[in-house]
């Protein structure tokens, strides 16, 4: 699940074997350094779910949890059947019912190859030299320079969680994240937002090297999250991300996020 996506003032990154709200975009996450205070503020891909295409966007429709949203045509879907991080997130976070993530995989491949090449392919989890030959040949020196940094490609994730505690969304969201410990003990939801005609909250969880930014609303006992993951070296880092200051990627996606009966 991404940047993502911003104010990160802490210097300590803490990894926890848990998952941000709906799992964020990673199974392990960077705990929050401070809460969000901005003005703007995965699901199984089975035959039941539908994807419709227009010229610039596709619309994902989830049959089980009755929601839909748009994402750019050409982005690649990640779900529990093809992504180990999402599969692990679903097993670790018992409140998380479902999650899907769409990412600009072409740009991500370029970033991964430039990063791997700069490290002489020493990271065994990254792409190999053979995998990157063609990708790198098509990039100019300036493009390689721009891509070689703490960043990741644009992405959008949607998650569905269960709040059967009887507590209101703000209380549940606060307690859910604070219980994960670390610097998240100081977590508070951000400003109120509206998504799918419902009042909710902007939420930021992360620090320093990366974090999730999302909109969160509740209908009945289901909590819906629409977000992006941002990876960067410091609060001022920008790259090929969805986490510019007004969080336009999430804000635009939220305008088209719908929940049906």
Is it the case that residue 176 has pLDDT exceeding 50?
yes
Q: Say if 144 falls within a structural domain.
A: no
H/E run at residue 253:
helix 248-255
Q: Answer yes or no: is pLDDT of 140 > 70.
A: yes
- Assign 50 a pLDDT band (cuts: 50, 70, 90): low
pLDDT at 212 over 50: yes
Question: How much is the average pLDDT of 192-197?
Answer: 94
- With bands split at pLDDT 50, 70 and 90, how would you rate the model's confidence at 40? very low
Q: Is residue 230 in some structural domain?
A: yes
Helix H or strand E segment including 91? helix 84-92
Inside any domain, residue 1: no
Residue 135 in any domain: the answer is no
- Domain carrying residue 161: 15-104+153-259
Within a domain: 50:
yes
Greater pLDDT, 104 or 29: 104
Number of domains composing the chain: 1
Q: What's the pLDDT at 198?
A: 97
Query: Which of 224, 241, 214 has its CA nearest to residue 2?
Result: 241
Residue 209 lies in a domain: yes
Note the pLDDT of residue 134: 94
Q: Cβ(78)–Cβ(103) under 8 Å?
A: yes
CA distance 135 to 2: 20
DSSP assignment of 115-183: HHHHTTT--TTS--HHHHHHHHHTS-HHHHHHHSSS----EEEEEEEE--SS--HHHHHHHHHHTT-GG
For residue 224, what is the DSSP state? E
Give the percent of the chain with pLDDT over 70. Answer: 70
pTM: 0.73
Distance CA 182, CA 208 (A): 14
Distance between CA 174 and CA 14 in Å, rounded? Answer: 19
Mean pLDDT of the region 40-67: 66
CATH number at residue 242: 3.40.1000.10
Q: What pLDDT was estimated at residue 4? A: 33
Q: Does some domain include residue 137? A: no
Whole-number pLDDT of residue 167: 97
Is residue 67 assigned to a domain?
yes
What average pLDDT does this structure show over 184-208? 86
- As a whole number of angstroms, the distance between CA 169 and CA 191 comes to 13
């Amino acid at each position: 699940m991404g940047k993502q996506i911003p104010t990160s003032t802490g210097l300590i990154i803490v990894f926890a074997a848990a998952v941000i709200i709906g799992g964020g975009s990673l199974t392990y996450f960077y705990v929050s350094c401070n809460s969000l205070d901005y003005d703007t503020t995965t699901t199984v891909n089975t035959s039941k779910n539908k994807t419709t295409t227009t010229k610039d966007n596709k619309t994902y429709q989830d049959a089980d949890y009755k929601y839909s949203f748009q994402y750019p045509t050409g982005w690649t879907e990640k779900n529990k059947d093809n992504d180990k991080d999402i599969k692990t997130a679903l097993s670790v976070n018992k409140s998380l019912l479902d999650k899907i993530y769409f990412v600009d995989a072409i740009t991500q491949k370029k970033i991964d190859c430039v990063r791997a090449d700069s490290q002489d392919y020493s990271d065994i989890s990254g792409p190999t030299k053979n995998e990157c030959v063609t990708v790198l040949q098509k990039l100019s020196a300036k493009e390689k320079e721009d891509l070689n940094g703490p960043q990741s490609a644009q992405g959008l994730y949607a998650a569905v969680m269960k709040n059967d505690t009887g507590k209101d969304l703000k209380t549940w969201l606060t307690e859910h994240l604070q219980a994960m410990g670390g610097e998240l003990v100081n977590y508070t939801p951000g400003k109120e937002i509206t998504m799918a005609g419902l009042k909710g909250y902007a939420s930021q969880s992360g620090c320093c090297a990366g974090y999730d930014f999302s909109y969160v609303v509740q209908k009945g006992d289901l909590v819906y999250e629409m977000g992006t993951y941002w990876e960067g070296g410091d609060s001022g880092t920008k790259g090929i991300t969805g986490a510019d200051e007004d969080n336009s990627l999430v804000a635009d996606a939220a305008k088209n996020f719908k929940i049906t009966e």
